[in-house]
Chain A
Amino acid sequence: MAVDQTNLSYEHPLYATMDKMPGITVATTTVDMLLTWGLKNSLWTFAMATSCCGIEFMHANGNRTDLDQMGSVPRPSPRHADVMVMAGTITVKMAPRILRLWEQMPEPKWCIAMGSCAISGDFYRDMYSVVPGIDTMIPVDVYIPGCPPNGDDLMAGLKRLQEKVEAQRAGRWVEPEGRPETAKAILPALGRVIDRDGTQTERQLRACQSMGLDGNEHRQSDLVAKSAGLLSNLLKLKGR
């Protein structure tokens, strides 16, 4: 396995300037540039590891492709983190919790969809219990395809995110145009279970609502209402 070292250099005007001035340890820069430089080189990750990709995420933070070298430290709490790495399948039962954890992350925050389950639901996407992709709930910045993507891929994804952060801070970021054919193509296929009878969608929605946060108790809260709204959107999407 070869890690392309040329992609891992952290070129910054500050470095070049300081190289030209040996012995001088003071350099002037704008506050904004300094902040951007610090921000993009300390993207701490919060691994929302639900399944297989979580193991590969551990490997990426292990000793072969050490993500620490990019300033990316895995944190167990969403409150410490800048980037949520959604690694694994998202189930209907887990989706409200993922949303809440995302809301607990402080701004600025980014999201990486790692692996095909987080991108689109993979081959579980038509199942009754699976959410077809994290981007049905949370805006995604970088998609890393693979099942699961290995450490190199994750590193390349983080590098892309660093570029995006830099461009965003400099006001150079342009949202890529959504291609209509792609948008059509990534819509979930007709649900196998949901399609079987017309009332399934409604029944499933009601079941999710009554399930509440606890999974066993009937409890109404803002979050449940929010997740119910989310699910109804999702099921509309599935039924299309």
Chain B
Amino acid sequence: MDPIFQPFRDDPHYPLDRYEAAADLMLLNMGPQHPSTHGVFRLKLVLDGEIIVKAVPYMGYLHRGVEKMVEGLTFAQMTPIFNKHDYVSPMTNEQAYAVAVETALGIEVPRRARYIRTILAEIQRIASHLLWLSTFTLDMGGVIGGGAAMMMYNFREREDIFDLFEAVTGSRFHYNTHCIGGQRHDLPEGWVQRVRAFLDRQERAFDEYLRLIRNDIFDLRTKGVGVMSADLALGLGITGPNLRASGVDFDMRRDAPFHAYDEVEVRVAVAQGCDAYARYEVRMAEMRESVRILRLLLDQLPEGPICGSKPVKMANAVRVPDGRGYTAIEGPRGEIGTWLIGGGEDKGAKPFRLKIRPPSLHAMAAMSYLLPGHTVSDVVVVLGSLDPIMGEVDR
């Protein structure tokens, strides 16, 4: 890469007039409606020929005002709202909320419920990474260029996962299966065998995926593109697979266990490449790791109640006293944090403030550091490799 772009990579606010352009600079808007921006995301690109000099991300096209809205809702009413933040992994978002309220109230979740949560979270991780893989390849290959084949393979498995979730929760997409203190739905009869059969299919499918995408074009498009150093990743607060692809060995499933992760061994996938290819490697390894963890969890799934001795189901029963706390779990995109201040309206039946820390928002901040010096066609590769979901960026 040409060193004249380095100042823009170090500091996105580097003044544009110090740049000596070979030709006239051109302003290009990408989005908010664009098939490859993963939702309604807008990038303002300053181009010198085909090379990006400066990239400015704009967000807020899906701002639904959720954090304000939940201040007027009771705690039991909130779960169906929280699974719509990150609509590719609704299950883990519900769990982040349930864990936050349970921690605030000091509720002990039964062991079986914790196992069910872990199983659902791991299946959701596979589903989320599958959607990432299909959109990533779609962005690079285009619908016509063979990328759609990958999507068809991924969506075959995603439909299987939706069937599994539908069997448990009755819904394909927005589940609303976590209540404060446990689970709302127990696993139906024969579900464990269905998951085992799915895992076998999934494991075979990974090899199919590799046969489809392991080629020189894929390597050329991803290797050395969007290099994010560990310092930059840590400085921007990036978590999850994007951080692990920069060589930082951190996974909350292992380092700060929640649910039942303390009872299984999690082998964290780390890659040193820092580029889009490394992020691909990490996510593929995580999917295989999820299959392994799921087999372990299904083997040692305990019997017992799925909700606490006093199931907290009534809308007015949950009252979080005045106080504040931060809880976080590891979602497919990274750390989903919840900052909860209790003691709101109606004697604490509603939260005073509930702030969500979405992993995608932090990943989006990296765009203006990563893009200068790349060509326009690399934008979708960098954006796709960071795997953002605009629902949780804007909330």
Contact = CB atoms under 8 A, between A and B. Distances in A.
Interface of A: 1, 48-52, 54-56, 58-59, 62-64, 76, 88-89, 91, 93-94, 97, 101, 123-124, 127-130, 147-148, 150, 192-193, 215-216
A156 to B, nearest CB: 16
Contacts of B58: 215-216
B179 interface: no
Q: What DSSP secondary structure best describes chain A's contact surface? A: loop
Contact of A91 (B61, B87, B131, B162): B61
Given A55-B87, A97-B32, A123 B65 contact: no
Interface in B17-72: 32-35, 39-40, 42, 58, 60-66, 68-69, 72
A221 to B, nearest CB: 15
A124 B65 contact: yes
25 contacts: A50-B39, A50-B62, A51-B39, A51-B84, A51-B390, A52-B84, A55-B88, A62-B155, A63-B159, A64-B159, A88-B62, A91-B60, A91-B62, A93-B60, A101-B33, A124-B64, A127-B65, A129-B63, A147-B173, A148-B173, A148-B174, A150-B172, A192-B72, A193-B65, A215-B60
Contacts of B358: none
Nearest to A92: B63
B81 interface: yes
A217 B265 CA distance: 52
A220 B61 CA distance: 20
B87 A51 contact: yes
Contacts of A64: 155-156, 159
Interface string B74-91: 000000010010011000
Contacts of B87: 51-52, 55
A124 B42 CA distance: 23
Most chain A beta-carbon contacts within 10 A, residue among B65, B163, B390: B65
Contacts of B66: 124
A59 B158 contact: yes
A216 B152 CA distance: 39
A59 B151 CA distance: 10
B391 interface: yes
Contacts of B174: 52, 147-148
A48 B34 CA distance: 10
Contacts of A63: 152, 155-156, 159
Contacts of B60: 91, 93, 215
Contacts of B151: 58, 62
A42 to B, nearest CB: 17
Interface in B158-173: 158-159, 162-163, 172-173
A127 B68 contact: yes
A67 to B, nearest CB: 13
B63 A91 contact: yes
A21 to B, nearest CB: 38
Contacts of A54: 39
Contacts of A97: 32-33, 61
Contacts of A49: 39
Given A55-B87, A56-B172, 13 more contacts: A51-B84, A52-B391, A55-B88, A58-B151, A59-B155, A62-B158, A88-B62, A123-B69, A124-B66, A128-B68, A130-B64, A150-B172, A193-B68
Contacts of A129: 63-65
Contacts of B173: 52, 55-56, 147-148, 150
Contact of A124 (B35, B69, B88, B163): B69
B391 A128 contact: no
Nearest to A74: B143
A74 to B, nearest CB: 8
Contacts of B152: 62-63
Contacts of B390: 50-51
Contacts of B159: 59, 62-64
A127 B155 CA distance: 34
Contacts of A127: 64-65, 68-69
A130 B62 CA distance: 9
